[in-house]
Each structure stands twice: as C-alpha cells, then as structure tokens.
Amino acid sequence: MRRGASRCGSTARFSSIASSRWSCSRAVMATRRTVGRARLSRAPAAQCSLPHGNGRRSRAAGQGHTSRNRSHARAMRSDSIGPSHSTTSRVLCPSPTPFHRGWCASSTRSAPRRGSRRTSRFSASKMILSAEVSDSEARLGRRAPAPRRHAARTAVAQDSDPARKSCQGSRPALVHSAARRAYENEERAMGDVGLMGMHVPGMSWREMREAAVLAEELGYSCITMGESWGEDALTSLAQLAAVTSRIRIGTSIVPVFARSPANLAMSALNMDRMSGGRFFLGLGSSGRLVIEDFHGEKFAKPLTRMREYIDIVRKAARGERLDHDGEFFHTKRFQLRFTPHRPSLPIYIAALSPPSLRLTGELADGWLPIFLVPSRMAAAVVELEAGAVAAGRTRRDIAISPQVSIYVTDDVAAARDRERPHIAFYIGGMGVFYHQYMRRIGFGAEADRVREAFQARERDRAAKLVTDEMVDAMTIVGPPQRCRDQIQRFFDAGVQEVRLVFNEPNREAYLKALQAVAPRG
C-alpha cells in the first residue's frame, strides 16, 4: 500500500513538476514570440525595397527625387488613386522566380508624393490592389462581386502582420479591370493586358509553367489557350493554373462541335473549382474543315448548337438537373456530383459573322474577336450592339477581349513581312467568314485580291498583297514604347482587355518581349 501510495505520490509530484515546466516553457516561448514581433515591428523600413506601413520609406542620405523615381512613387501612392470602398484588401508577397528579380530588385526608390493622378495604363497600374471587384467582374472570371461605382477606385492596403513585410516587401496585386472601367472621368481609358497562347519553339512544359509564373508576377491579366489539331486547351491550362494563384485562365477557343455540352460542363466547372474561380470558358464554332475533316462531325447550324450548348453549361453551373430536349442535344437526368465554385461561370464567344455577333450580344459575358481594328471599331461591333439591345442589354455588359499579334522589335519592316502570311491564310484559307469580315471593316478590295491569290495556290503572292496599312491596323509592331502606345489604342476604342500573341522564335526572346511590354514593367 505504501509503495503504491508512494508511487502514486511520486507520479503526482512528477506530473506537477512537468506541468509547471511545460507552462513555464510556453510562457517563455510566448515571451520570445512577443519580443521577436516587437523587434520586427521596430525594424527600419529601409530593409524593404517597397513601401509598407504608412506607405513611406525613409530616404537614405543623398538620395534625391529623380524623375523616374517620382513617376514610380506616384504609382506607389494609394491616395493618388482615390478612396477605396474595400477594407479587406490584402498584400501578397510571393518569392521571385529564378529568372526574374521581381519587385524587390530596386531598393533606392524615393518617398512618394501625394495627390498625383494616373493618366496612363502603363504608368500607374503597377501598384494598385483590390480584393473586391464590381459585378461585371464575373464576366472577366473574377472572384467576388462589389458595387460598381466611382468609389471602386482602389488603394494599397496595409498588412497588419509586420513579419510578412520584413523580408521581401509588400507587393500588391493588379487592380481589376472593371474597377478601371469605373474611371469614367479619367483622361484615357484603361484595360487589362493578357496573353493568348504560350507555345514557343523549343520551350518545354516546365519552362512554360515558369513563364506563367513570370506573367503573373508581371501583372498580365489572363492566359488563354485554344485547340484545333494540337494540344487540347483544358489539360494545358490545368498545368498553368496549378502553379499560379491570381492570373485568370480561359479557353480561346473550344469548338462546340468537339465535345458534348455535358462533358465540357464537367471539365470547365471543375477547372473553375480547382483554380479558385479564375476560369472562363471561351467557345467558338471553328470551321467546316476542322469539324468535318478532323472531328468527323457534320458542321451544321452552328448558332443553334451554340445556343443549346450555353444553356446546358449554365444550368449545370447552377447545379440544376438537366432534362434538355433540343434540336441537337437530348439530355436526361444529368446533374453534377460536385458543387461548382460559383453559379455563373463566365462564357465568352469568338464571333465573327453578323448572326454570331448578334448571338454574342444577346447571351455572352464576353467577346473574343480576332483582327479587331481600333480605328474601325464601330463597323466591327454594330451587330454585337444590336444583339445586346434586343436582349435588353448594352455593349457595356459584354467584355471585349481581342487577341492581337505583337512583334516587339526595332525592325518594323521585317515584322510586317512575318505577319503578312498569317493574315493572308485567314482571309484565303479559313472559309469565307474572315474575308467577309475584312470587307465589312473597309478592307474589301485588299481582301479580294488576297483571297483570289490564295485560292489560286499562290500563297507567297497572297502574303505580299497584304498591305502595310492592314498589318498596322490589326497588329502591334515596333519597339516597346510604340507597342505600349498601340495597346492603348484598343483601350481608347472601348476594349476592356487585350490578349497578346507573341511571335518570338525561342524562349529567351519570348521572356524578353514578355517583360518589355508588361503591365508592371
């Protein structure tokens, strides 16, 4: 009994001692954490290459306000943009990529001034943050709705945790495009700059994933991929979605003849769920050659098929049970076995003919044009606006996101020659739609000559018949600043987003061009 009691007493004493030591250890650890945080909070601001805290950083002795630093500083100021309606914004601090020094590369930025306003897409879009967006952001694949008003202007939010600020500096995300569109009184309209395709000769998928990370760091708004007879778009985009966290991803385009709508609904809504609401679905009809010769499907009534397709995908996104009995699709008892990320997946249409443009204006969240000419925008969108009006909408309800070829080079003449065969192929070899489109926007005589030569199998002559005016009107060509100015032309014409198609011969040239015209370059 005594031994047992002794053992019990010893055990109790040991437990008491261990408990007190454990409590003491936790107290010491808590004290150390508190002291550590206090030290971090007292760390000089000069440790970080970017402003944080109250938005200022101490200037080292002898550092003056150069014009370049003043320009950058104005872009950094949250109060140079205007008040923010959002108080939940957050600052992100990702690690730089191996081949890009990132935002912490420059450590000699001078303190910013108050009261300046941004007037150019590329001068101040570098440092604007918002975690909330307007209701039209759903069309662009954004995450959460917020009121559309002038107060949608956003500011840099301050991170409350100093430990996050101590290493690399606070680097805000890019303001969303719908918030930019709320700047109705600004001198110039602003929009997003995205990417169409990332397939570069000799570039591996590992390098492509790295390029996607770099594109996100540089502020590009989206990456889109299409499919015809190469890689399929969805598995390619899944690779890029897995290594990024903010940039939108989308198809441009998936033909509505290549998959059943139920199959594509499963894939698209799963992509949206896996990417956290960053996915948007770009649909198109493609053409008779691709659909009948490659897919073995009859190319008939593409508009009717598109309408049914969109109806089925949207019902699936809302979690509805599908009993669709249409002209093309007869679906019974179909319902997704997972909950979609959101009930309104953004759907874009790559429309070109007048009937398809009217359908886009009626149903779509966005339009994916090609060969859009800013100076002839009215002729290109007249049918789009007609479809929108018929459905009780306006053109502002449809996000316009053209894909545009870009050549970042000092040799403009050589770049034009590289683009001519591409334009000639679409006019002469891709059915009648592109030829008719060129006629509608004022290039009728030129398009007639190009198509005649191409149909006669004189492709070299057809390419030479593509004029400099045609190339310059629908392509971005020149040194970096000239390319930026040409991108701005699209925004001035009412475009919300430009998706650039780089035409570089190898990875090194591609990465150089990607950085040369980057929104945060």
Angle 457-461-466 (CA atoms, 0-180°, nearest 5)? 115
Please give the structure tokens belonging to residue 256.
Answer: 């509505």
Handedness of CA 390, 396, 401, 407 (dihedral sign): positive
pLDDT higher for 344 or 92? 344
Residue 502: the pLDDT is 98
How far does Cα 283 stand from its chain's mean position? 17
pLDDT at 24 over 90: no
Between residues 182 and 427, the one the model is more confident about = 427
Q: Can you give the pLDDT at residue 443?
A: 98
Q: Specify the pLDDT at position 190.
A: 62
Greatest alpha-carbon pair distance for the chain in Å reads 113
Query: Structural domains in the chain?
Result: 67-180 (no CATH), 191-409+479-516 (3.20.20.30)
**Residue 28 clears pLDDT 70, i.e. is over it:** no
Range 249-259 average pLDDT? 96
Confidence class for position 177, pLDDT limits 50, 70, 90: very low
Mean pLDDT, rounded, for 304-308? 98
Please check the confidence at residue 327 and state whether its pLDDT lies above 80: yes
Secondary structure (DSSP) of 48-83: SSS-BTTTB-PPPTT----HHHHHHHHHH-GGGT--
* pLDDT confidence of residue 520: 86
3-state secondary structure of 255: strand
Q: Does residue 452 carry a pLDDT above 60? A: yes
Number of residues written out for the chain:
521
- State which amino acid sits at residue 118: R
Tell me, what's the pLDDT at 289?
A: 82
Average pLDDT over residues 417-443: 95
pLDDT at position 175: 32
- The mean pLDDT value for 96-102 works out to 32
- pLDDT for 451 equals 98
Contact 314, 347 (CB under 8 A): yes
To the nearest whole number, what is the mean pLDDT of the chain? 75
Average the pLDDT over each of 101-105, 195-199, 375-379, 409-413 and give the range with the smallest value.
101-105
3-class SS at 225? Answer: strand
Cα(458)–Cα(242) distance, integer angstroms: 45
DSSP notation for 338-383: S--S-S---EEE---SHHHHHHHHHH-SEE--BS--GGGHHHHHHH
* pLDDT digit string, tens, across residues 378-397: 999 999 999 999 999 999 99
Q: What is the pLDDT of residue 255?
A: 96
**Token pair listed for 518:** 């980057």
Burial class (CB in 10 A: 0-12, 13-18, 19+), 272: buried
Closest C-alpha to 154, from 136, 137, 132: 132
Asked if residue 449 has pLDDT above 70, the reply is: yes
Half-sphere exposure of 262 (CA within 13 A, CB side): 15
- Write down the pTM of the prediction: 0.67
Mean pLDDT on 146-153:
32
Region 347-353: mean pLDDT is 97
- Decide if 31 contacts 86 (C-beta within 8 A): no
What band does 53 get if pLDDT is binned at 50, 70 and 90?
very low
The backbone torsions φ and ψ at residue 58, rounded to the nearest 5 degrees and listed phi first, read -65, 135
Confidence of residue 68 (pLDDT cuts 50, 70, 90): very low
Q: Tokens at residue 304, please?
A: 């009717």
pLDDT confidence of residue 47: 37
% of the chain beyond a pLDDT of 90: 59
| CA-CA-CA-CA dihedral for 391, 396, 398, 403, to nearest 10 | 150
Low-confidence winner among 44-48, 299-303, 386-390, 489-493 (lowest mean pLDDT)? 44-48
pLDDT of residue 36: 44
Average pLDDT of the segment spanning 78-100 = 33
C-alpha–C-alpha distance, residues 18 and 12, integer Å: 10
Question: Per DSSP, what are the bridge partners of residue 477?
Answer: 407
Q: Which pLDDT value is given to residue 521?
A: 63
Secondary-structure percent of the chain, ordered helix, strand, coil, rounded to 5: 50, 10, 40
pLDDT at 171 over 50: no
Is the separation of the CB atoms in 387 and 358 below 8 Å? yes
Question: Where would I find the H helices in 457-500?
Answer: 459-464, 468-474, 480-492
Confidence of residue 228 (pLDDT cuts 50, 70, 90): confident
Token pair for 273: 């769920």
Q: In 10 A of CB 43, how many CB atoms?
A: 13
- Separation between Cα atoms, residue 487 and residue 194, nearest integer Å: 11
pLDDT of 210: 98
pLDDT reported for residue 486? 98
Lowest pLDDT segment from 96-110, 247-261, 370-384: 96-110
Spatial separation of the C-alpha atoms in residues 499 and 226, rounded to whole Å = 13
Q: What is the pLDDT of residue 180?
A: 37
Pairing verdict, β 322-325 and 330-334: antiparallel
What confidence category does residue 290 fall into, taking pLDDT thresholds of 50, 70 and 90? confident
Q: Please give the share of the chain, as a percent, with pLDDT higher than 70.
A: 63
